[in-house]
Amino acid sequence: MARPVGAITRGTTGHNRLRRSDRWVAAVHGHRLRERPLVVDLGYGASHTTTLELFTRLRRISPGVEVMGIEIDPARVARAKPYEREGLSFALGGFELPVSRPPTLVRAFNVLRQYGEAEAWHYWDVLRARLAPGGLLVEGTSSEVGHRAVWVGLDREGPKTLTFSARFDAFQRPSDLADRLPKTLIHRNVPGERIHAFLRDFDHAWAVSAPYGVHGLRQRWLAAVARLGESWPVPRQAPLGGRARWRLGELTLPWSAIAP
């Protein structure tokens, strides 16, 4: 086998760290997981936990789904092997994705943080090229306990959506989620860039929606998102938007709205 492409990550992980993105994938993109789809969890870390959780959650909506956890560290793969079962496997590899057929879904969380911006764009291209027709790449970053997360949804053509997700008590203002931005955006959060303007406006909408806080932070979030939608293209209908998604502490934007 050729040397895996990429560098070893810190490997930190934990139970339910990626629950927010898993829930979004199942609700928004579950229709992609027909027949016997292959799902790849790239760079799952020092523990098999989040890969097993992904497998369990996707099996509820797609009983035939196959999930493969891929890690560049042989020791991590060896530790995960005893947890294999029908439909769940672990393999040594990196961005080259050593799989037998194109995956319908690739999840890559907390993987690209250690790379430069140009490298992150490059690896987006590499992973997108490996997708099956109609496939999806979900690339993002979460906090250590999963209370804050931001991710990008990409298909074979390029990035399509940017999603913010957080517990309502995990931030003081929405721009606190900026530290979870993908590598392709995190250094763009400066005046003159659209992502900076969006977070500035989100903070303003949050501030002026403060009176709704007497009914709870969820109601304040709902009011802030509705106000933000007056000046930004916030989807208001399922599956990407609407109160059902917003009530979970989610907000999805079309990538075109904030693209650098």
Please tell me the distance from the alpha carbon of residue 164 to that of residue 228, in angstroms, as a whole number.
Answer: 14
Calculate mean pLDDT across residues 188-196.
98
**Phi and psi at residue 55, to the nearest 5°:** -55, -50
Rg of the chain (C-alpha set): 18
245 pLDDT tier (thresholds 50, 70, 90): very high
Number of domain units in the chain? 1
Task: Let me know if residue 6 belongs to a domain.
Answer: no
Evaluate whether 76 touches 51 at the Cβ level (below 8 Å): no
Task: Let me know if residue 228 belongs to a domain.
Answer: yes
CB neighbours of 219 closer than 8 A, spacing ≥ 6?
212, 213
Evaluate whether 15 touches 42 at the Cβ level (below 8 Å): no
- How does DSSP assign 47-99, residue by residue? -SHHHHHHHHHHHHH-TT-EEEEEES-HHHHHHHGGG-BTTEEEEE--TT---
Q: Which of 27, 34, 255, 4 is nearest to 132 (CA)?
A: 34
Calculate mean pLDDT across residues 95-105.
97
pLDDT for 237 beyond 70: yes
The model's pTM:
0.96
C-beta contacts of 166-170 below 8 A and 24+ residues apart? 166/249, 167/249, 168/216, 168/217, 168/218, 168/220, 168/221, 168/249, 169/217, 170/143
Task: Let me know if residue 75 belongs to a domain.
Answer: yes
pLDDT of 140-161, one tens digit each?
999 999 999 999 999 999 999 9
Task: Let me know if residue 11 belongs to a domain.
Answer: no
The angle subtended at Cα 45 by Cα 41 and Cα 49, nearest 5°, is: 70
40 pLDDT tier (thresholds 50, 70, 90): very high
- In three-state secondary structure terms, 141 is strand
Task: Let me know if residue 12 belongs to a domain.
Answer: no
CATH of the domain at 33: 3.40.50.150
Tokens of 252: 């999805």
Calculate mean pLDDT across residues 5-33.
93
Lateral strand order in the sheet of 38-42: 88-92, 66-71, 38-42, 105-109, 136-142, 148-155, 158-166, 250-254
Task: Let me know if residue 29 belongs to a domain.
Answer: yes
Q: Where in the sequence is the domain holding 91, given as residue range(s)?
A: 19-255
Calculate mean pLDDT across residues 24-36.
95
Task: Let me know if residue 5 belongs to a domain.
Answer: no
14 pLDDT tier (thresholds 50, 70, 90): confident
pLDDT of 123-137, one tens digit each?
999 999 999 999 999
